[in-house]
A and B are shown apart, each in its own frame.
Chain A
Amino acid sequence: MMEKMIFGRFIPGNSFIHQLDPRSKLVFTFIFVIIVFLANNSITYGLLLAFTLFVILISKIRLYFLVNGLKPVIILLLFTFLIHILFTREGNVLLDLGFLKIYEGGLRQGIFISIRFTVLVFMTTILTLTTSPISITDGLEVLLNPLKKLKLPIHELALMMSIALRFIPTLMDETDKIMKAQMARGSDLGSGPIKDRVKAVVPLLVPLFVSAFKRAEDLATAMEVRGYRGGEGRTRYRRLKWDAKDTICIISLVLLTALLIFFRS
């Protein structure tokens, strides 16, 4: 199940999109999510769809892989499409089955909403597919830096996030180990009614939590001994580099926004 899910996964690569600075990608995705709502007719929705396909093309992620990975989303998409077709009553009747009438407005609305949905999901997925979690964290830390003035602990948040990301595989291994240990003692994790299965998870979670706390304590000691004193007076080893590519990326976003505003009705 885990292998098929592509939400939040990172696929290393060397495409134009991969090489972009995480800051420009984050800003781009954030603004894109907003300007999607500017579209309200065929031309503007067509523009959005074409733009998204273009981005997928230069990110060198296979469309099949993307669509396959987003299967659960497609069900949701079909559902919204159907709701719109069945319940919007505008324009001419396209099809009359007696008990149900499909209107032109309904069809159009259904298609538009589906495009909006697809474009949003694809764009945000491309962000996580082409940016390593640690770069996203770095990008976020820099972008959120102004909020430090409001006394928000941005550095600490970013550090927490990067440590959490770093420990995911470690804790996964640990879970696996505990699972095998409990199975060797005869616990049945995979079968029976839901109630039994939930109960079987408890002897898995308790040792996992205990060890996670132990790890946290060790890590805190190690960090302190290595001179960690919070964000004050700290230099950064990871450097973000803003170059021409990022400027191009932002310019294309501005152009897209302008076109959307120009063509919207």
Chain B
Amino acid sequence: MTEILSFKNVSFSYSPEKADVRKAVDNVSFSVEEGEWIAIVGHNGSGKSTMVKMVCGLLFPQEGEIRVMGNVLSEENLWDIRSKIGMVFQNPDNQFVGATVQDDVAFALENNGIPYEEMVERVTSSLKRVKMYEFLNHEPHHLSGGQKQRVAIAGALAMHPKLLILDEATSMLDPQGREEVLQTVLDLRKEIGLTVLSITHDVEEALLADRIIFMNQGKKYAEGTPEEIFALGDKLIEFGLELPFAMRMSKLLQEKGVPLAGKNLTEEELVNDLWTSNFRK
């Protein structure tokens, strides 16, 4: 497997001249392989957003190096790297540049000087991918939040990115919109094997990832599969994160004396555990 992104001992401080100010990102290392879904979780001020800004070259690390597709990110290859990364931001309204859905999807293509015929083809195919093709000529204020985020994903897909970054992309959506967006990402991973890096404080979203990186106070606190991370239990709650609903539910049930076998990360596991629990008595 090829490596898409790696952080090596990366540190960043918003006021580097002051030694007593805590660094926003402090000596963080991790890597993302092709086809993986990595979630970065942590509460506000844990350094998640600063890390994202460094991936797309909006900020440069003061120490350490960031490699994107094997190349060290620098001023010279910045635009080249940006064209290979798709990003979806938090606020659906503030990232919609075009006047209509198709104009917005074409925006990145226009910027990169893609010829007209190819643009039309790419806009069509990426809108079909996120199931927004019939909204081609709609204006943004006639779309729901979830639809706007799907258009943003289409805009990123049109550039055939190696990496899709979701920067709290679902945090401003209603449950239905969140479901729509996450389902779209799941489908895309199945269809084209997209690599995804999602920054979130929604535990249910983090559960979908292959690996979770848990940030606290600018430092990487833990890294592992969802099972490993949520096994930390009380530590997570201490750092301002919630446990998944099914896990909280099983804990409460166990306290009430229901003999459950496992931790039960997802609802399905919990249901299976529940209906077999009587056999274990």
Contact = CB atoms under 8 A, between A and B. Distances in A.
Contact of B94 (A162, A173, A215, A239): A215
Nearest to B104: A166
A228 B140 contact: no
Contacts of B56: 225
Interface string B100-118: 1011001111111111100
B96 A166 contact: yes
Interface residues of A, number: 28
Interface stretch (B83-91, B126-134, B187-195): B83-91
A218 B108 contact: no
Interface string A226-258: 111100011111110000000000000000000
Interface string B218-259: 000000000000000000000000000000000000000000
B272 to A, nearest CB: 42
Contacts of A214: 94
Given A134-B99, A169-B141, A235-B116, A218 B94 contact: yes
B110 A223 contact: no
A200 to B, nearest CB: 26
Contact of B111 (A165, A166, A173, A229): A229
A196 interface: no
Contacts of A169: 139-141
B267 interface: no
A215 B116 contact: no
B140 A166 contact: yes
B106 A222 contact: no
Interface in B105-164: 106-116, 119-120, 123, 139-141, 155, 159
A225 B79 contact: no
B111 A234 contact: yes
Contacts of B107: 223, 226, 228
B93 interface: yes
A222 B79 CA distance: 14
Contacts of A235: 109-110, 113-116, 119
Contact of B95 (A219, A237, A239): A219
Contact of B110 (A163, A219, A236): A236
Interface string A137-169: 000000000000000000000000011011001
Nearest to A230: B111
Contacts, number: 88
B93 to A, nearest CB: 5
Contacts of A90: none
Contacts of A223: 97, 107
A191 interface: no
A238 B93 contact: no
B113 A222 contact: no
Contacts of A170: 93, 140-141
Given A219-B95, A221-B58, A227-B79, A234 B110 contact: yes
Contact of A225 (B87, B98, B100, B102): B87
A227 B98 contact: no
B97 A236 contact: no
A188 interface: no
Interface string B158-192: 01000000000000000000000000000000000
B43 interface: no
Interface in A176-225: 214-215, 218-219, 221-225
Interface string A85-112: 0000000000000000000000000000
B116 A237 contact: yes
B150 to A, nearest CB: 16
Q: Which 3 A-B pairs have the closest CB atoms?
A: A218-B94, A237-B106, A222-B95
21 contacts: A134-B99, A166-B139, A170-B140, A214-B94, A218-B94, A221-B58, A222-B89, A222-B97, A225-B85, A225-B87, A226-B87, A226-B97, A226-B107, A227-B159, A229-B79, A229-B111, A235-B119, A237-B119, A237-B120, A237-B123, A239-B116
Interface of A: 134, 162-163, 165-166, 169-170, 173, 214-215, 218-219, 221-229, 233-239
Interface of B: 56, 58, 79, 82-83, 85, 87, 89, 91, 93-100, 102-103, 106-116, 119-120, 123, 139-141, 155, 159
